[in-house]
Amino acid sequence: MANYPLKASNKEGTLLLPNNSSYSDEYAEKTCDLFLRSSVEQDGQGKLHKYYRLHAKQAHNTEMALAYDIQCPECRVGMLKQIGRQLNYNELGLYRCPVCDRK
């Protein structure tokens, strides 16, 4: 789906703001230190949900990966909530926006 490069907006580097882009998967993996990749899944009731997987160029342990607060790239109001675990050192948590889910 879409890739969203992330930029830190505080001095600690833990509050991340997404930028819209038309980056391909390969380009985002090569050039972005941190980015979100979106996907859409259908639940058991037929409702569509948008999910985001956090990707990192540099390896992250669990503690490092959990330190981030990420603004939703869709609504720009909500903060993403982690709903799935880290897959490896570079494919970090799976996120969903509670504000977008209410719509």
User: CA-to-CA distance for 42 and 77, rounded, in angstroms?
Assistant: 23
| Residue-wise pLDDT tens digits, 28-64 | 999 999 999 999 988 888 888 899 999 999 999 999 9
* Residue 103 scores a pLDDT above 80: no
In the chain, the amino acid numbered 34 is L
Contact 21, 7 (CB under 8 A): no
pLDDT at residue number 3: 95
- Smallest CA-to-CA distance from 17 within 32, 6, 25, 28 is with 6
Q: Look over the chain and give the mean of its residue pLDDT values, rounded to a whole number.
A: 92
Neighbour count for residue 84 (Cβ, 10 Å): 12
